[in-house]
Amino acid sequence: MASPLDVAVIGLGSMGLGMALSLVRAGHRVAGCDIAEPGRAALAAAGGHAAATPAEAARGASAALVVVVNAAQTEAVLFGPEGAAATLAPGALIVSSATMAPADARRFAARAEEAGFHYLDAPISGGAAKAEAGALTVMASGSPAAFEAARPLLSAIAATVHELGGEAGIGASFKIVNQLLAGVHIAAACEAMVFAKSLGLDLDRVFEVISQSAGTSWMFENRVPHILEGDYRPKSAVSIFTKDLGIVSDIGRSGSFPLPIAASALQLFVATAAAGMARDDDASVARLYARIAGLDLPGETPPGTETR
C-alpha cells in the first residue's frame, strides 16, 4: 500500500463513518469529527482519533474528506469558525462529497484553491453498506493534481471512481442528475406498488414480474423489498430526497429548466415527511399512498386503526 497519510474525515454519519473506517483499514491515520457522539465513538473504537472540531481533526493533515449533509454545512466545516481550512497542512487536499449544486462546488473549489489547497468535487453513491466496505462509487471532477493526491484515499473508499472532468462542478452535476432519477424512481415505485394493491394484485408477484420487465429500475428492485417486508427503518431517509430533489428543483428554477417529473416526486417526499415519516426509509412514500387510499400494506396498521 501507499505510505500512510494523516487524513481528516469531517462528518461521521453512515457514509462518513464508513469512509473513515475504510481509511483506517487501509493504514492511514484518521481523525474524524461529528456533532453526534456515536460516529466519534465508533471511529475511536476502530483506532481513529475522535476530534472535537473540524479544525482539530484537520490539524496538519494532508487531506480532509468532507461528508456532511449539504453545501451550507460543507462551507461551515471548511471555512467557518473552527473550520478545517485553517489548520490543514499547506497544499493539502480537500475532498468534498456532500450532494450540492454545481455552483456551490465551483465556489468552494475556488476558495480552497485560493488558499493553496487542492479540491476534488467528489459526490458519492452506494449507501452505508458499501461505504463501510470501501466499495463506494465516486463521481469526481477536479484538477489532475487533486486527482493525483486523492488516489490513495479513493482506492481505500471506492470500488468505482468516475473521473469526469478537470474542474469542480462536474462531479456535482452528475450526482444531481443521478439523484433526480433515483428520487423519481423511488416515488414511482411506491406509486405503482400501492396502485397495484388497489387493483387487488399480489404484491410479491408484482415485484417478481416487474423486476423482469421493461418497467423495472435499480430503485424499484432495491426499495420495493422494504415495502414487501414492511421495514421502514431508514436505510436512506425521506429527508435525503426532500433535500436532494430540493437542490434539483432549485437548479432547474434558477436555470429556467422545467422539471415537472422531478417536481411531482419532490412533492411526494415532502408530503411523506409532512405526514411524520421524514426520518423513515424513503420507501415510506408507499405508506403515504396507502394511507391516502385506505389500503393495507405488509406490516402496516390499516388506516383508521393505527395508534401512532
- Give the interface with a second copy as residue ranges (CB under 8 A): 102, 125-126, 137, 139, 160, 162, 164, 170, 173-174, 176-182, 184-185, 187-189, 191-192, 194-196, 198-201, 205-206, 209-210, 212-220, 222, 248, 251-252, 255-265, 267-268, 289, 292-293
Q: Is 235 a catalytic residue?
A: no
Residue number with CB closer to a second copy (113 or 167)? 167
Query: Shortest distance, CB of residue 173 to a second copy, whole angstroms?
Result: 4
The CA angle 226-228-231, to the nearest 5 degrees, is: 40
Question: Which is nearest to 298 in space by CA: 197, 186, 192?
Answer: 197
CB of 214 to a second copy, least distance (A): 5
Question: How far apart are alpha carbons 61 and 8 in whole angstroms?
Answer: 6
The residue (of 8 and 265) whose beta carbon lies closer to a second copy is: 265
Q: Phi and psi for 230 in degrees, rounded to 5?
A: 60, 30
Residues contacting residue 38 through CB under 8 Å, at least 6 positions apart: none
The grid cell for 185 is 424512481
Shortest distance in whole angstroms from residue 271 CB to a second copy: 9
| Residue closer to a second copy (CB basis): 205 or 279 | 205
Nearest approach in angstroms of CB 306 to a second copy is 20
Q: Which of 130, 175, 197, 243 is catalytic?
A: 175
Alpha-carbon distance of 211 to 209, in angstroms, equals 5
CB 117 within 8 A of CB 146: no
Considering only CA atoms, which of 90, 134, 131, 97 is closest in space to residue 113? 90
Q: Sort residue 197 into left (φ over 0), alpha (ψ -120 to 50) or beta.
A: alpha
User: Measured between alpha carbons, how far is 2 from 151 in angstroms, rounded to an integer?
Assistant: 10
State which residue, 41 or 159, has the beta carbon closest to a second copy. Answer: 159
Residue 48 CB, nearest approach to a second copy (Å): 28
Nearer to a second copy, 62 or 97 (CB): 97
Query: Dihedral of CA 253/258/263/265: which sign?
Result: negative
- Active-site residue numbers? 175
